Structure 1
């Protein structure tokens, strides 16, 4: 094969790759635009929460189903006491808190015992879903509705399953130990169950970044914006994810993810499917996909809802290493879930979930990241080789930077019009600026982190990549 032929083939390959990357990016941004439009419609037509609705809760609180709040904890000594205090203080007629210490090698269990005056308990586990040994069960003498479970390490899914097994209520709420629930967050998140006829099986709530907020005694005292750029970039991401994508998907009853930071489930459904899977690093995504699969194979009517009001605040990674570990794990887990449930993809048996939602996950989490990252390399090469019209290169720039920024600004405007939770006009400008600056370095780094997650999957690396935490304090 002569050099000229090889050069021509390489040139053609660069051209085809460039146009494929452009098409993938266009498709992803089109989906994002549709989600923003649907979310805007939902916000414009819904009944907004008011003081009157809270009065109804106080008058008819006996209609609220009891909830067990399950808190898996591993090496959370910095914030566990404050987090549990905030959960105990929630405005809710009847809820118990089950903290599961997942074999921590720091002072997590001792902080719980000392902080809440816990003593050994003979409470028995109703259903055994976890794979590891229970080492001890404790009851707080200060708070009768607080139970602490000490167990061998088995990671978050195993700890969540242990808590589900000890729960005795119709609903269970699983949250991260480094999260702070708003005082009325549990009330708002369980409202879909209150007005339901039995179809609602799970509900997610909006999550926001706690970095920069003032948190005292386990409660959010003042909303703030972090001084650091890395948490600000994540604020933009969370706004896009929770105020557009999940609101739109929930409206179409095709929500594919309830964040592991906060979710409420019918305990009976979790028991039916055997709880969380143990051999995945994205147990929250896999659980929701499996619920969809289970309910559709059983041909049962169901609904997975979403509450757009903020119900939970979580600490975001503050270092690039922590962000890399988190995003690589998310990507690896998405790939694991897609492979595990691959028979659902484009399968009419699973309705819109199989024909559209699963395919969307494939584009978003498998094809999209490498396509966009490759696009940053091959499109300049295609221009240099003269095989791509400069207009196409400008289009790629527009859809990745300008159009992407516009979607983020639109989401920020939606948040300000509907929720008004950004503290000041200056903070709005800061977040808006982050929506633009993220396109120059942060976005590309995220794509690289996700590619590393794909690599971890094919290397069969199932080790848990930790995300360092600073803990909640008044100055974070």
Structure 2
């Protein structure tokens, strides 16, 4: 092979890579635009104005099914007492709080025992779903609906399974221990079950970033915006995920993810499925994908719904340190889920889940991140070397960065029109600025973190690096 042949082959390869990157990124953004338009249409035509807490209570107090709220906790001593206080104060007719201490190495258990005057008691599990040993169970002298389960460390999926095994209610709500549910959040999430014909198996709700908000006595007192830029960028990401992606997918009955920060499930379905899997770092995505597969394999009528109203606030990583582990874990979990359920991809047996939803996950989580990151390097290089029309590189910049800015700002407009939870015009401007500048640096850093998830997946790493927490701002 001559040097000329080598150079021609290299040039051709670069061109093919450049075109592939452009097509993948453009297709992903077209889908995102379609989701934004569908979400806007749903909000304008299908979503009723949010009822007040008292109206919800008057309407559903006698209809609301009992709920067990399960909060897995690992090294949460900074915020666990406030979080549990918020759960106890939820405006719901009948609910039990089950906090599962998953072998914390800090003083999480001690904070619970002292903060709620706990004493050791006996509680029998009615379903054994976890893999690790239960060490003890505790009841509160002051709060009869509070149960604390102390167990050996087995990660969140194992802790959630332990809580499901102790629950005795028809519905279970699985949350992160560092999350704060809105006072009427359970009522809002449970509302779809009250109109149900026994086909509804799960409901997700919108999640917002609590960094910068003021918390008193375990409840959110004042909505605020964090001073750090990293949490502001995540506000924009969460708006896109919940007001655009989730709303559009739920409307098409292709919702594939219910956030681990808040999810409401029919307990009998979870038990029948065996609960969460223990051998993945993306247990929330895997659970919902497996739920679709389980129900369709058994030819059962089912629905998975989404509530666009804010139901929960969660603490996000305040700096890039911590965000890297979180995003790499999310990426690794997506790859593990796709590998485990690969026979669903493009399979007409699973209807729109196999033909639409699963290929969309492949595009967004397998092809998208490396295509965009490689495109930032290959297209400008190809243009400089004269292999590609410079307008092609400019077009790639437009569809990846400028178009991303437009989508973020569009989602922010949708949030302001429908929910209006940004407290002041100044705060709205600060989030709007973050929606633009996140595309210049932060977005690319996140792509790199996701490639780290690829590396962890291929190395079959199963370690779980905790995200550093700073705790809630208290009044």
TM over 0.5: yes
How far off its partner does 1:48 sit? 2.1
Deviations 1:242-265 (A, max 9, x none): 000000000011100000000000
Match of 2:441 in 1: 441
| Secondary structure, counterpart of 1:220 in structure 2 | strand
CA RMSD of aligned residues (A): 1.1
**Which shifted more, 194-203 or 387-396?**
387-396
- In structure 2, relative to structure 1, the CA distance for the partners of 1:331 and 1:48 (3 Å cut) is same
Q: Distance in 1 between matches of 2:49 and 2:201?
A: 22
Q: Distance in 2 between matches of 1:290 and 1:441?
A: 35
How far off its partner does 1:387 sit? 1.9
Match of 1:124 in 2: 124
How far off its partner does 1:290 sit? 0.4
Q: Distance in 1 between matches of 2:178 and 2:447?
A: 26
| Secondary structure, counterpart of 1:177 in structure 2 | coil
Deviations 1:40-87 (A, max 9, x none): 011001242444784253254121000000000000000000000000
Q: Distance in 2 between matches of 1:128 and 1:451?
A: 36
| Secondary structure, counterpart of 2:439 in structure 1 | coil
How far off its partner does 1:473 sit? 2.2
Q: Distance in 2 between matches of 1:429 and 1:231?
A: 15
Match of 1:269 in 2: 269
- Does residue 5 of the first structure (1) align with residue 5 of the second (2)? yes
Q: Distance in 2 between matches of 1:314 and 1:55?
A: 26
| Secondary structure, counterpart of 1:336 in structure 2 | helix
Contact 1:203 1:306 in 2 (8 A): yes
Contact 1:15 1:382 in 2 (8 A): yes
Match of 2:421 in 1: 421
Contact 1:11 1:385 in 2 (8 A): no
Match of 1:453 in 2: 453
- In structure 2, relative to structure 1, the CA distance for the partners of 1:58 and 1:162 (3 Å cut) is same
Contact 1:401 1:436 in 2 (8 A): no
Q: Distance in 2 between matches of 1:60 and 1:74?
A: 34
Match of 2:296 in 1: 296
Correspondence list, 1:137-156, <5 A: 137-156=137-156
Q: Distance in 2 between matches of 1:474 and 1:99?
A: 22
Contact 2:346 2:358 in 1 (8 A): yes
| Secondary structure, counterpart of 1:366 in structure 2 | helix
Match of 2:308 in 1: 308
How far off its partner does 1:393 sit? 1.3
Match of 1:196 in 2: 196
How far off its partner does 1:120 sit? 1.1
- In structure 2, relative to structure 1, the CA distance for the partners of 1:431 and 1:207 (3 Å cut) is same
Match of 2:224 in 1: 224
Correspondence list, 1:364-443, <5 A: 364-443=364-443
Q: Distance in 1 between matches of 2:169 and 2:208?
A: 27
Contact 2:50 2:309 in 1 (8 A): no
How far off its partner does 1:2 sit? 2.1
Task: List runs of 5+ in structure 1 lacking aligned partners.
Answer: none
Match of 1:249 in 2: 249
Match of 1:21 in 2: 21
Deviations 1:300-324 (A, max 9, x none): 1110000001000011101212000
How far off its partner does 1:88 sit? 0.4
| Secondary structure, counterpart of 1:327 in structure 2 | helix
How far off its partner does 1:447 sit? 0.3
- Does residue 344 of the first structure (1) align with residue 340 of the second (2)? no
Q: Distance in 1 between matches of 2:235 and 2:93?
A: 32
Deviations 1:224-278 (A, max 9, x none): 1111110011011000000000000000111000000000000000011000000
> How many residue pairs align between the two structures?
475
Q: Distance in 2 between matches of 1:59 and 1:249?
A: 28
Contact 2:53 2:184 in 1 (8 A): no
Contact 2:56 2:187 in 1 (8 A): no
Match of 1:319 in 2: 319
**Which shifted more, 5-14 or 353-362?**
5-14
State TM-score, norm by structure 1: 0.98
- Does residue 208 of the first structure (1) align with residue 208 of the second (2)? yes
Contact 2:383 2:390 in 1 (8 A): yes
- In structure 2, relative to structure 1, the CA distance for the partners of 1:52 and 1:379 (3 Å cut) is closer
